[in-house]
Each structure stands twice: as C-alpha cells, then as structure tokens.
C-alpha cells in the first residue's frame, strides 16, 4: 500500500505593517501567517503545490481565513504570501527521485557498455535476447554453449514471449533446443546492428 496525500506546514508569521484591525481598529496589531501545502508519499514531502494565509489581531484575537479576509487587508497579505518561498525541504521527494533516475541511467549505460564488449568476446553461458524487428513483438533467447576464436556454438530457446526481457521466464534448460548451431562473432554483430539481437546477459555479472 502506498500512503500519500497532502499536508500543510507553517512557513512564517509576520506583522502587517501599516494596517489596523478591521474588528477593534487597533493600529499595528495585525499579523498574518503563511502555510504551504505539499504532496507527500510515506510522509516524505514530494513537492509543494499551494500557499494559504490567515490573519489575526494580537489585540482582540479576531482571526480571518484567507477567503474571508477584509478587503483592506488583502493587498498586504497577498504581498506576504508572494514573498514567502517554499522551503527546499518541501521538494525533498523530487530530489530523491531525480537521484534515483540519474543512478538508473548510469547503471543502464554501464550495462550497455558491458553488453557490447560481451558481444565481441563471447563466453560460454552468455545469453542473447533475440527478436525479429517488424515481424512481431515476440522475444526469445539464444544461449552460448561454447566460444572458440570467432565461432560460437549456440542453442535457440524454443519459446518466444511478448517481453523485451524474456530472460527470467525463458531461461530454463528444458526450454532450449537440443540442436546447436554455429555463428560467427561477425554474425552476432550484424544481428545486433539490425536490431535482431537486442541484449546480452552474462549470468553472474
């Protein structure tokens, strides 16, 4: 279960200089408070989305919500709201997500670099994700039995599924053909360039 919602937080309270109380007429007794509303997930603030204000008289204690604010107080309260910034912590969740996204992108780049190296220097146990672009959305696997010089012995998986990462579902020994075939490293490169070989996995790496 994901717990999310919105919360309010007090940002600041400041006197409303040059005003008097609409209720008791006491000069320089008015103050206003500004609150932020922010979205949260699991109580981690994600991002702020609105500000609210209220005004109160220090003398008679009469208070006004923003929507029922007397006209003469509206411009000063609006100014106070405008000059009150959302504190950085209300963006904490967005910052956390940005860091997660950035590290995901970095991990993705490392994987791609490894895969290219693995394709030019195959190892027994490497598994290629294969796909016929254009024809279908189906993906299957080729497993390297042995690699010697420029030649690799592979067995084809006899199943194909609608998943760009079929490894976890298809990679069990009984799903592979008993017949192996030979390919060259050049064949693999060509298949990769044509988009027929979309990924290389080296289990354990």
**Interface residues toward Zn ion, by CB under 5 A:** 21, 23-24, 57, 59-60
CB of 83 to Zn ion, least distance (A): 24
Nearer Cβ to Zn ion (28/153) = 28
Nearer Cβ to Zn ion (21/34) = 21
Nearer Cβ to Zn ion (58/169) = 58
CB of 92 to Zn ion, least distance (A): 38
CB of 70 to Zn ion, least distance (A): 11
Nearer Cβ to Zn ion (59/175) = 59
CB of 55 to Zn ion, least distance (A): 10
* CA of residue 78 relative to chain centroid, distance: 35
């Amino acid at each position: 279960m994901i717990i999310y919602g919105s919360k309010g937080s007090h940002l600041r309270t400041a006197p409303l200089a040059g005003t008097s109380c609409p209720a008791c007429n006491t000069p320089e007794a008015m103050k206003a408070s500004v609150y932020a509303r922010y979205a949260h997930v699991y109580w981690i603030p994600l991002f702020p989305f609105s500000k609210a204000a209220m005004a109160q008289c220090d003398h008679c204690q009469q208070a006004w919500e923003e929507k029922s604010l007397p006209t003469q107080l509206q411009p000063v309260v609006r100014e106070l709201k405008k000059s009150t910034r959302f504190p950085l912590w209300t963006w904490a969740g967005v910052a956390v997500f940005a860091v997660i996204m950035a590290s995901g992108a970095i991990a993705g780049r490392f994987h791609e670099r490894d895969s290219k190296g693995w394709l030019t220097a195959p190892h027994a146990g490497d598994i290629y994700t294969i796909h016929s672009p254009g024809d279908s959305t189906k993906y299957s696997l080729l497993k390297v039995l042995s690699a010697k010089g420029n030649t690799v012995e592979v067995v084809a998986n006899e199943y194909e599924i609608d998943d760009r990462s079929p490894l976890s579902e298809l990679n069990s020994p009984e799903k592979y053909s008993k017949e192996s075939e030979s390919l060259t490293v050049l064949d693999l490169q060509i298949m990769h360039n044509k988009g027929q070989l979309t990924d290389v996995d080296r289990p354990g790496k």
